[in-house]
Structure 1
């Protein structure tokens, strides 16, 4: 489409110099020259805002138009907690409530010290090694208005709550140290906040330090798409020093300003519902930190939290003062539950103890069912896309070097546009160099994403978590194989993945000679040994044989399986060289994710 003889192009809110050049089919060098001519210094991978990009587009004879974000796809009913909480409320009963703010950032960048300055208390000194060990919830009052803060031990805990359906917060404050700049965990925290679709305020901390380099950090933030307002962007960046109490009031003003634009409301005149922020056992019994998100919680209410329930015997605020009732956005410590709930569990007030018990049992059964449901996999992408059950293709990219990220991201975008332009939107939630970690799997589980690794290892703990959460991890060493697999997935041609599942391990303690070979007398150390399964023989940690179990006996009886703690006799097909101390690793190979 042309306007005034100029070709129209759509430009997003932020775009890299390279992407803008590709959009206009010109050289990135020519774009950089135009930017320099207008007094703007930018590298080829640096992000610029829409206004700057529009200025460049005009220079090249284009008519720019700002690209609007796609409208949210209607789901089959609310899926996140905050949607369910207010879906059936009468708008006339909704009243403004305090915003709930999560504080995220790299370790040692001053998250807890910043909250310490806000609360005028010394929380940080009470922490082991002055590093936050568990989630804390605090409420402060500024200019007659309240703000609730969550201080997390890392973005993983925050995302684990979100993965379990708890949309806990309204605003994210990303703490970045002015002397240290953007670090790997800063990028991860940003990815988690963006995946939760939270407005982000940056608190640029430690500006009083002699080594602080504010301009460098501002440039780093812009490259992450957090273009500061003073650079023409829309990200609020507040310069603070937690130790010197500089900029604290400016930060609180910024939070209240963003909260006003969000129209944060709740209905205080109904039974309470909310989320478990933390839980523990002390001399008083099970103690749960609850965040009331709608309604008002009262002393004496019967509540069910996850798979546990009880009557609220006592309530305390974040300073240990007793409370009789807690309105929306109030964090409280509660005594009276029968057991310790898990962080991220949802709670609500029940009409009776019987109803609470039945609801707790239903939740336990539902949790078990959800653990058996596989999340998005590359194999069933086409089927779910055709059924209209997926409109967004969420991806996490991990590579061996930073330079590999952009080619892979560009490849994925081109494939989606070529094969599913009107059916699918690609969202790269997080992209970074380094091994695939638990944090990546947690983010994938919360966002129904696929992890694509390129020449990177998978952390052992991350592998276990991915198996339990049903997260699909794909690791490649050749970039063309990524293209082949995704192209097949978008066409519905990808073959099911064969996945290995370890059943158990047994130690060879005796070797018996029998007619035609040997039998190993074993002690099952963990899991189980199953007849007709596959077995690796490990000696000194090295595999010396892999084959199928030919016979499995308990004393003289043939059995189908032997569990941990019992002895058995094992014979393998085609192997007769057992030695005392060998480890037999029993496993099966299964098809997973078949469409």
Structure 2
């Protein structure tokens, strides 16, 4: 059935929509809301006829028409409604004033906590009570706290009720502006293509630096005569009018460090593999890092000019790590290149652009800038200097930015050739001056409205970091794995395996991945031969993984870093113990009775062979202390070769109970004489741990 809108009917009747609405409501009892309301065509026709009859019945002597009459009525109603609105607004204003007065009178009964904790003394000062009264109430609540002890928010809230005071926690909107920028509501019309950001990775001596240099010389425009190119850690090259940004941080350690800070700035990784050498340990490590970060890989098979170059062998080895070349039916692009002869460099860059086009990399240049710090340093003449990679928006000279927990106003900006520039768009690296402090690599930066806002946000971030340091984060470990699975925090258990031989890695990997169940999937993200290093701990921290060391030990740097980053390192000598522990942890049945505690390390510097006694080792205690009768293990090149007990421990000619760090000693190992200079003696004891209920 056809419908007619009110304004169309009003037009036919030659009256205003407002008058028609009034007539419909009062004369014809038709309920309409506004001029866009619809009525049935039959009803409209009836209204036309009735309206015509009413017009005919109107006395000619009347001074005003029906339309004028209803328009006057409408005006009167409008005046009445305005009068009512004014009265209502006045009442609301009075009500607000009364509310403000009431709040002002009760302000003393409300206190705000800016942090999650407060000291007893500060709480007493806020509620204007004696400290002794506050401590007394805490004792009644079952909380034993002294004047300088801290109480948490829930305790403070209950304590406030005892003194008729409402305790509320002030929301610290630390990154309000930054968060608003993160939540990018850009429309498709504002998004434009941006250059891809590339990182070059691979094994040592496979030609990473040579390839980067070849690309720079071939594609980076040389400067004027006498000019000096300032290397700033990143640069942009042009290929047929299209730009590509290279990060000059080829090491996977930098790659991991940035990912650990949540800065995923690399779009594509060029994996360099030597055609005459093939896949090497560091190449495998780079592949695992790329997979963990879920970044596309383009393989550059370098050194094709060498006599022993065999690209097919490289492709065959790549398939062992689930990287199947395109010409073999896979999806990994492999390009033969030579950094020495410049062969294949154009093709490599074209493949990078093609991969970038498949990713559809876009950004909005018409918004506040944000991005990541590539590197930073302190220059004597220029102060804090930072290399920034703009990831979205456009950065200008004079903009105020916050970078991690530091801030500043950009005084000068330079491109990758050392030339002064005024602005930089998405995926463009720039060197800036004007920061208050030197930021850390991987810190995110955001443009804010002014320097005052940036300073306030930086101060609040520093305070937040301090609180986070005091309340250390809980990384996944075997002891808390089951609880985290039940809470839904862990859906995937990432594991890094370090072992003495490659066969042990494969055996452990296969056995552990079979333990996956419906609730949690076990995934081995990296496996390598050798001692646990700082790089392994950094990867574990970034991926929230645990490290399983089989017949190998962590080095000193790895131990310190693991403690700082709360990374769980488990050492095993029997493969089944490792599998049983992971399985028990997943089932919530892991209840260790004993915990191994390393008490000291000593480096063997000289050996003496004595008849009827055996080999005596002259040692220097490097860490902790060596205790007589303690259990020891001999470590050679990071690998455990023997475990036993100390047979004797001497200082000069005297037997001693212990030797502290920084002192020399002589010792012999029970049932072991194959001691060599450079070996490390690690003393440990088993500490009993009470079972958790």
| TM-score normalised over the length of structure 1 | 0.68
**What is the aligned partner in structure 2 of residue 301 from structure 1?**
399
Separation in structure 1 between the aligned mates of residue 598 and residue 661 of structure 2, nearest angstrom: 23
Out of 575, 581, 599, which is 1:485 matched to? 581
Is residue 575 of structure 2 the alignment partner of residue 472 of structure 1? no
**What is the aligned partner in structure 2 of residue 314 from structure 1?**
412
The secondary structure found in structure 2 opposite 1:484 is helix
Distance 1:464 1:122, change over 3 A: farther
Separation in structure 2 between the aligned mates of residue 279 and residue 593 of structure 1, nearest angstrom: 48
Higher strand share: 1
**What is the aligned partner in structure 2 of residue 543 from structure 1?**
627
Distance 1:267 1:224, change over 3 A: same
1:90-123 Cα shifts (integer Å, max 9, x gaps): 3442221111111111122222221222221799
**What is the aligned partner in structure 2 of residue 160 from structure 1?**
257
8 Å Cα contact 2:407-2:454 kept in structure 1: yes
Is residue 523 of structure 2 the alignment partner of residue 427 of structure 1? yes
The secondary structure found in structure 2 opposite 1:323 is coil
**What is the aligned partner in structure 2 of residue 393 from structure 1?**
493
Separation in structure 1 between the aligned mates of residue 179 and residue 275 of structure 2, nearest angstrom: 34
1:126-157 Cα shifts (integer Å, max 9, x gaps): xxxxxxxx982111111111111112151011
Separation in structure 1 between the aligned mates of residue 494 and residue 448 of structure 2, nearest angstrom: 37
Question: CA offset at residue 186 of structure 1?
Answer: 0.8
8 Å Cα contact 2:238-2:244 kept in structure 1: yes
| Structure of higher CA gyration radius | 2
Which consecutive unaligned segments of at least 5 residues does structure 1 have?
1-80, 124-133, 504-525, 528-535, 547-574
**What is the aligned partner in structure 2 of residue 379 from structure 1?**
479
**How does 1:219-258 map onto structure 2 within 5 Å?**
219-258=316-355
Separation in structure 2 between the aligned mates of residue 248 and residue 376 of structure 1, nearest angstrom: 44
Is residue 525 of structure 2 the alignment partner of residue 441 of structure 1? no
8 Å Cα contact 1:178-1:204 kept in structure 2: yes
Separation in structure 2 between the aligned mates of residue 203 and residue 583 of structure 1, nearest angstrom: 52
8 Å Cα contact 1:499-1:592 kept in structure 2: no
**What is the aligned partner in structure 2 of residue 32 from structure 1?**
none
Separation in structure 1 between the aligned mates of residue 232 and residue 468 of structure 2, nearest angstrom: 25
Is residue 270 of structure 2 the alignment partner of residue 186 of structure 1? no
**What is the aligned partner in structure 2 of residue 70 from structure 1?**
none
Out of 421, 446, 453, which is 1:355 matched to? 453
8 Å Cα contact 1:82-1:168 kept in structure 2: no
Question: CA offset at residue 369 of structure 1?
Answer: 4.7
Is residue 385 of structure 2 the alignment partner of residue 287 of structure 1? yes
| TM-score normalised over the length of structure 2 | 0.59
Distance 1:330 1:184, change over 3 A: same
Separation in structure 2 between the aligned mates of residue 576 and residue 405 of structure 1, nearest angstrom: 41
Separation in structure 2 between the aligned mates of residue 444 and residue 175 of structure 1, nearest angstrom: 24
Question: CA offset at residue 576 of structure 1?
Answer: 10
1:471-500 Cα shifts (integer Å, max 9, x gaps): 111111101111221121111121368475
8 Å Cα contact 2:195-2:243 kept in structure 1: yes
Question: CA offset at residue 354 of structure 1?
Answer: 2.0
Separation in structure 2 between the aligned mates of residue 223 and residue 297 of structure 1, nearest angstrom: 44
Distance 1:594 1:119, change over 3 A: farther
Separation in structure 2 between the aligned mates of residue 188 and residue 135 of structure 1, nearest angstrom: 26
Question: CA offset at residue 276 of structure 1?
Answer: 0.5
The secondary structure found in structure 2 opposite 1:360 is helix
The secondary structure found in structure 2 opposite 1:415 is coil
The secondary structure found in structure 2 opposite 1:211 is coil
Higher helix share: 2
**What is the aligned partner in structure 2 of residue 414 from structure 1?**
514
Separation in structure 2 between the aligned mates of residue 289 and residue 378 of structure 1, nearest angstrom: 40
Question: CA offset at residue 579 of structure 1?
Answer: 9.1
Distance 1:582 1:297, change over 3 A: closer
Question: CA offset at residue 543 of structure 1?
Answer: 2.3
Aligned pairs, number? 442
1:524-548 Cα shifts (integer Å, max 9, x gaps): xx99xxxxxxxx7x4xxx42388xx
Question: CA offset at residue 374 of structure 1?
Answer: 2.5
8 Å Cα contact 1:82-1:167 kept in structure 2: no
Separation in structure 1 between the aligned mates of residue 262 and residue 213 of structure 2, nearest angstrom: 29
**What is the aligned partner in structure 2 of residue 558 from structure 1?**
none
**What is the aligned partner in structure 2 of residue 341 from structure 1?**
439
